[in-house]
């Protein structure tokens, strides 16, 4: 049976989609079968992983509305399988009104769970019916945050929602950890927010991941190429950080690496032979 992991935070701009896509790439590189489920109407995860969400293709909206089964919407590529989403998903908040609506995603995922080692769910920046569906279906939650004061806002409501889901819908739900994203250890503010985040982690009965993700323009470039960071710049510092995070999430030892400096790892825009012309 697969492990279902939801990347969540009601605060926008904390890098949920980037983290979700990158972990999909890392798990896949570890030889695991992975399904990415996009529950954000913005469809950024679908775009980042190269899914086709043009008109005429079924999406998570159709699956949640029981118009099709989830296996009818899954797309396959070299990174992982994807259950895509687009703006039509935003209608679910008003249209999903039936009894048991909190369990729709769980019921859909159960039909394909045996096909995958890991199922990763990207959620919208809101505590909506979509987010609650993700919590009910999940085994683990990963909460990304950036080391800024505003990133701490809303944690009280998030805590109440998670604890309510655990009490009434999903007793086995576990917060796997809080991830500090866009981390800059040189800033005093970063250290101050990290101290506050440790207090929040204790209240949520979890920990802050030892592995932090530092800011990098390479991370922002990867989605434009329809690739995860591990495929776009496999030798970069960011790729190593996400790889180490993936191992930490799974409780595995981080891979040993040579001390040899590999450089920034950014892909060459031009083949080496072109440099000889200049």
pLDDT tens string, the chain, 278 residues long: the values are 789 999 999 888 899 999 999 999 999 999 999 999 999 999 999 999 989 887 678 999 999 999 999 999 999 998 899 999 999 999 988 888 888 899 999 999 999 999 999 999 999 998 899 999 999 999 999 999 998 888 787 788 889 999 999 999 999 999 999 999 998 888 888 888 888 889 989 989 999 999 999 988 898 888 888 888 988 999 999 999 999 999 999 999 887 766 555 455 555 554 455 444 44
Q: What is the rounded distance in angstroms from the CA atom of residue 30 to the CA atom of residue 3?
A: 15
Q: What is the pLDDT of residue 211?
A: 95
Q: What is the pLDDT of residue 278?
A: 40
Q: What is the DSSP letter of 210?
A: S
C-alpha distances out from residue 89 to 48, 84, 153, 231, Å: 17, 10, 26, 29
- Whether the CA torsion 125, 127, 133, 135 is positive or negative: it is positive
Q: What is the pLDDT of residue 239?
A: 94
Q: What is the pLDDT of residue 270?
A: 46
**Residue entry with tokens 């909506």:** 128
Tokens standing for residue 114: 């045996």
> Which residues, at least 6 apart from 161, have a Cβ–Cβ distance to it below 8 Å?
127, 131, 132, 135
Domains, the chain, ordered by start: 3-277 (3.40.50.300)
pTM: 0.89
Q: What is the rounded distance in angstroms from the CA atom of residue 179 to the CA atom of residue 143?
A: 6
In 3D, which of 41, 208, 25 has the Cα closest to residue 128? 41
Backbone angles phi, psi at 111, to 5 degrees: -75, -15
Q: What is the rounded distance in angstroms from the CA atom of residue 182 to the CA atom of residue 186?
A: 12
Given a contact cutoff of 8 angstroms between Cβ atoms, the answer to whether 221 and 189 are in contact is no
Q: What is the rounded distance in angstroms from the CA atom of residue 196 to the CA atom of residue 199?
A: 5
Q: What is the DSSP letter of 256?
A: P
Q: What is the rounded distance in angstroms from the CA atom of residue 80 to the CA atom of residue 244?
A: 19
Give the length of the chain.
Answer: 278
Tokens standing for residue 239: 């790729």
Q: What is the DSSP letter of 233?
A: S
In 3D, which of 189, 228, 185, 276 has the Cα closest to residue 80? 228
Q: What is the pLDDT of residue 118?
A: 98
């Amino acid at each position: 049976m697969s492990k279902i992991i939801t990347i969540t935070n009601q605060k926008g701009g904390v890098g949920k989609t980037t983290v979700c896509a990158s972990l999909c790439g890392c798990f896949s590189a570890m030889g695991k079968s992975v399904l990415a489920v996009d529950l954000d109407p913005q469809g950024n995860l679908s775009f980042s992983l190269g899914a086709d969400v043009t008109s005429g293709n079924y999406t998570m909206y159709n699956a949640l509305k029981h118009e099709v089964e989830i296996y009818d919407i899954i797309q396959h590529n070299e990174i992982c399988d994807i259950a895509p989403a687009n703006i039509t998903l935003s209608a679910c908040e008003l249209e999903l009104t039936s009894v048991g609506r909190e369990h729709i995603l769980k019921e859909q995922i159960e039909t394909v769970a045996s096909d995958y080692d890991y199922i990763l769910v990207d959620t919208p920046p809101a505590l909506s019916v979509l987010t609650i569906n993700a919590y009910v279906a999940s085994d683990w939650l990963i909460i990304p945050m950036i080391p800024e004061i505003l990133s701490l806002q809303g944690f009280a409501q998030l805590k109440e929602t998670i604890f309510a889901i655990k009490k009434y819908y999903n007793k086995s739900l576990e917060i796997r950890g809080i991830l500090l994203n866009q981390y800059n250890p040189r800033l005093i503010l970063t250290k101050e927010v990290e101290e506050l985040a440790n207090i929040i982690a204790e209240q949520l009965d979890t920990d802050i991941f030892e592995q932090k993700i530092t800011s990098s323009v390479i991370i922002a470039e990867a989605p434009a190429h329809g690739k995860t960071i591990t495929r776009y710049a496999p030798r970069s510092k960011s790729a190593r950080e996400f790889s180490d995070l993936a191992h930490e999430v799974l409780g595995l030892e981080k891979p040993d690496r040579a001390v040899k400096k590999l450089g920034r790892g950014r892909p060459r825009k031009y083949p080496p032979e072109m440099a000889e012309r200049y």
